[in-house]
Structure 1
Amino acid sequence: MPEYKPPFTLTNTILKLIAEISEAIGRLSVQLECEQNLRLRRVNRMRTIQGSLAIEGNTLSEEQITAILDGKRVVAPPKEVKEALNAISVYEQLDTWQPSSEQALLAAHKTLMTGLVEEVGSYRTGGVGVMSGDKVVHMAPQANRVAKLVSDLLEWLAHTDSHPLIASCVFHYEFEFIHPFADGNGRMGRLWQTLILSRWHPVFSHLPVESLVYQHQDEYYQAIRQSTAQTDSSPFIGFMLQMILDVLIEVQAEAVTTQKTTQKTTQKQKAILAYLQSNPGAGRREIAEALGNITEDGVKYNLKKLQEFNLLKRVGSARSGHWEVQA
C-alpha cells in the first residue's frame, strides 16, 4: 500500500452530494442509452471541450467547436483552432488510457499540447504558478520534486478505496497543486478527473462538467485557494461535486426534452431525415418524388417542423445550400 495519502475530510455535505449524484446517474444513464440521445451525447462532448478551453482563455464558440468536430474550416486564431483540434483528439482517446498510468498521463499531455508549447509529454523544468486572471493564486512545488509527487499521487489513485467521486476530486486538486507541466495543467486536471469518473460510470464520458466550471471560474479558483490554505482538499471536493450534480440535473432535463421531441416525429418526417442523410442536396420536389406518399407542400411543412425540433439544419442558401441531419 502507498505511504502517501492526500489530506481530505469527508463532511456531511460531501456525503450528501455523493448520494444525490449516485441517484441522478441512475436516472440519466437510462435516458442517454436511448438511440435518440446520441446527438445529445455528441453535443455534451462539444460543450466539455469548449468549456475546458474557455477556462484557459480560448474564445471559440460552441458553434465553432462543433464545426471543427465536423472537420470544417473555421475562421479563428490558428492557436485556438489547434487547441480545439488537440482537445478533440485527446477526448477521443479517453477510453484508451489507464488513470493511474504515468505513461498515459504524459501521452495525453503530449496530444493535448503538441504545437502549442515546447515541453510536451514531459514534466516542467522550471517554476510555475497557478493564475487566476493576472493574479498568482498558488506557487507550485519546485521542479525537482514533481516526478516523485506525481508518482506518489498516481500510486495512491491506483490503490485507494475512496469512492471514485472523492478520488477524482482529490486527484484533480492535488494535480493542480503540483502543477507538473509547464502549461496545460488545468486542462489535464479536468481531463483526468473525467477519465477517472468514466472508469466508474460511462455517463461521465459525455458529461460537460467543464462547461459549468467555466461559468463558475471564480468559485473554482476560490476552492483551490481555500483547500491549499486548509491543507485539506474538502472545499475543492465539495465544489466539484456540486458542479457534477448540477450538470447531471441539467443534462437530464435536456435528455427528457430531446426524447419527447424525437417521439413527436412522424413516420414521414423520419423518412425525410433518412433520405436527406444520403441526399443532403435534395430539394422539396425530389424528396416528394422519392418518398412517393407526400406532396411538395407536405415536404415543406415537415422540413419546417424538423428544423423546429433541431433535428435538421439548413446550411447555405435555399438555392445552393444543403441539409444537415442533426439526429
Structure 2
Amino acid sequence: MSQQYQPPFSITPAIVTHVGKISEAVGRLTILREQTISLRLRRINRVRTIRGSLAIEGNTLTEAQVTAILDGKRVIAPPREVQEVRNALAAYERFDDWNPGAEKDLLEAHRILMSGLIDEAGTYRHGGVGVMEGPHVIHMAPPADRVPALMGDLFHWLATSDAHPLIASSVFHYEFEFIHPFADGNGRMGRLWQSLVLARWNTLFADLPVENLVFEHQSEYYQALQESTQKTDCSPFIEFMLTMIFDAVVTSAPQVTPPVTPQVGQLLMVMDGEMSREALQDLLRLQDRKSFRARYLRPALADEFIEMTIPDKPNSPLQRYQITEKGRQWLQLRRER
C-alpha cells in the first residue's frame, strides 16, 4: 500500500462556502431533530433514500411500492427490481453496524445489496468494466488486478485524512466511482458509503434522503463525475455533492409543531431583543389590543416561540417578551427557503 496516496482534489471557495453553510444548517437541524423528528419521518426518508438511489440505476418502483415491500406486502413489478429493493432495505437495516473505514464492511454491504443479482456479490470484480452513456464508454475503470491495491490505498487515505468529513466523504465517493471496484452496484454502493461516512460525523445523515436529491439531478451527477475525471481533480464532484447535501439538510428539517400561523410569523419577524406588548403592537400597526393578545401574543407564547422576561408575574407593567431558540430556528429556516 502506498503511504503517499493522495486523491486529486483542490479546495475551491465554493467548497469552503458549502462546508460552512452545511455545518450551520446541520447544527440547527440537529436541535430540531431532537425535538420533533419521529420514527415515521425517519421511515419516510429511508424509503426516499432507497427509491432515489435505485432509480438512478434504472429501477422504476415508486415510493409507494418501496413502502409496500417494506411492509411485507406483495408488489406486482419486475422480480429483479423487487429484489433490488429488498436487498437495499436489508442493507440499510445494517447501516448503524458498519464502520466506514472497514473494507470488510464495504464488501459485506455489497454482498447484501447485490445478493441474487450478480454472481460476484461481495467480492471485487475479476474483469474489466466501463461506465456507459448510451452506446458510448465515458470512463474505462482501472484493470481488475489493480482494484484491491487501489481500494486499500483509498481506505488508508480515508482513515488518515484530516479533511472535513463533508469533503472526505465526497472525495471517497468520487474515487470509488473512478475505481469502479465491483462488477455491478458501484453507484448505489458509492452513495451508501458517503452517507455512512457522513453519519459517523453526525447521526442525522442516517435519516437524510440525499440520494433522492441526486436522482432529481441525475444528469448533473454524471456530468460532475465526468468533469472531475477530465480535470484530474474531483472538486467539481465535491461541489455538486455538497450542494445536494445542503439541500437535503434544509428541505428535511421537520415542520415545527404546531404550524406557525401567519400572525405568529409576523410577530416573530418584528421581534428584536426584549420588547413590550405596546412596542410589538405598534410595529405590527395593530389597534385592537384584545385581538393582538388572542391572535399573536398568546399563540406565540403557548407554542414557545417567544417567552416572558418575568414569567412569574405575567401582568407586570415591566413585562417584556423575547424570542426563544425555537423561534430563532423557525426564522432561520424561513430565510433559507
TM normalised by structure 2 equals: 0.75
Query: CA–CA distance in 2 between the matches of 1:137 and 1:245?
Result: 28
Return the letter of the residue paired with 2:101. Answer: S
Supply the AA of the counterpart residue of 1:63: A
1:104 to partner: Cα distance = 0.6
User: Which residue is equivalent to 2:21?
Assistant: 20
Corresponding residue number in structure 1 for 2:258? 260
Give yes or no for the alignment of 1:102 onto 2:100: no
SS of residue paired to 1:34: helix
Task: Give the C-alpha shift of residue 244 in structure 1.
Answer: 0.4
Counterpart of 2:74?
A: 73
> What SS does the aligned partner of 1:162 have?
coil
Equivalent in the alignment of 2:325 = none
Residues 165-207 of structure 1 show CA distances to partners (whole Å, capped at 9, x for unaligned) of: 0000000000000000000000000000000000000010011
CA deviation vs aligned residue, 1:194-237 (integer Å, no higher than 9, x gap):
00000000010011010010011111011001100111110000
Q: Distance in 2 between matches of 1:210 and 1:75?
A: 24
Whichever residue aligns with residue 166 of structure 1, its letter is I
Q: State the partner residue of 2:237.
A: 236
Task: Give 1:97 deviation, angstroms.
Answer: 1.0
Residues in 2 aligned to 1:3 and 1:9: alpha-carbon distance in whole angstroms? 17
Task: Report what 1:41 is aligned to.
Answer: 42
CA distance in 2, matches of 1:248, 1:108: 25
More helix, by proportion: 1
User: SS at 2:142's partner residue?
Assistant: coil
Shift of 1:136: 2.3
CA distance, structure 2, for counterparts of residue 152 and residue 78 of structure 1: 37
Cα distance in structure 2, aligned partners of 1:10 and 1:197: 18
CA 1:66–1:155 in structure 2 vs 1: closer, same or farther (change >3 Å)? same
2:12 and 2:59 mapped to 1: Cα distance?
35
Superposed displacement of residue 32, structure 1: 1.9
Matched with 1:283 is none
Structure 2 distance, partners of 1:131, 1:242, is: 25
What residue number does 2:139 align with?
138
Q: Confirm or deny: 8 A CA contact 1:45 1:206 kept in the other structure.
A: yes
Partners of 1:119 and 1:182 within 8 A in 2: yes
- Quote the offset at 1:98 in angstroms: 1.1
CA distance 1:28–1:247, change in 2 (3 Å) = same
- Asked if the contact 1:31–1:37 (Cα under 8 Å) also holds between the matched residues in 2, the reply is no
CA distance in 1, matches of 2:10, 2:163: 12
CA deviation after TM superposition for structure 1 residue 133, in Å: 4.2
Question: Percent identity over the alignment?
Answer: 60
Does structure 1 residue 32 correspond to structure 2 residue 47? no
Deviation per residue, 1:34-73 (Å, 9 max, x gap): 3553211211111000000000000000001111111211
SS of the aligned residue for 2:137 comes to strand
Determine helix, strand or coil for the equivalent of 2:167: helix
User: 2:166 is matched by which residue type in structure 1?
Assistant: L
SS in 2 for 1:161: coil
Q: CA deviation at 1:137?
A: 1.8
Show CA shifts across 1:246-296 (max 9, x none).
1111112xx116x3369xxxxxxxxxxxxxxxxxxxxxxxxxxxxxxxxxx
The 3-state SS of whatever aligns with 2:196 is helix
RMSD of Structure 2 on Structure 1 (CA): 1.7
Q: Return 5+ residue gaps in structure 2 as ranges.
A: 261-337
> CA contact under 8 A between 1:32 and 1:38: conserved in structure 2?
no
SS in 1 for 2:131: strand
Contact 1:99 1:196 in 2 (8 A): yes
> Aligned residue pairs: how many?
260
> Residue 137 of structure 1: SS of its match in structure 2?
strand
> In structure 2, what is the Cα distance between the partners aligned to 1:66 and 1:177?
32
Give the residue type in structure 2 aligned to 1:97: W
Deviations 1:103-134 (A, max 9, x none): 11110100000100111111111111112344
Corresponding residue SS for 1:256:
coil
Is the counterpart of residue 164 in structure 1 residue 165 in structure 2? yes
Maintained 8 Å contact 1:13/1:238: yes
Q: Show the 5 A alignment for 1:190-269.
A: 190-252=191-253, 255-256=254-255, 259-260=257-258
Match of 2:258, as an amino acid? K
Native 8 Å contact 1:126 1:182 kept in 2 = yes
Match of 2:117 in 1: 116
Structure 1 counterpart SS, 2:80? helix
> CA 1:36 to 1:196, structure 2 compared with 1: closer, same or farther past 3 Å?
closer
Q: Distance between the aligned counterparts of 1:22 and 1:133, measured in 2?
A: 38
3-state secondary structure, aligned to 1:131: strand
Say whether the 8 Å CA contact 1:132–1:221 is kept in structure 2.
no
Match of 1:295 in 2: none
Question: Distance between the aligned counterparts of 2:130 and 2:239, measured in 1?
Answer: 23
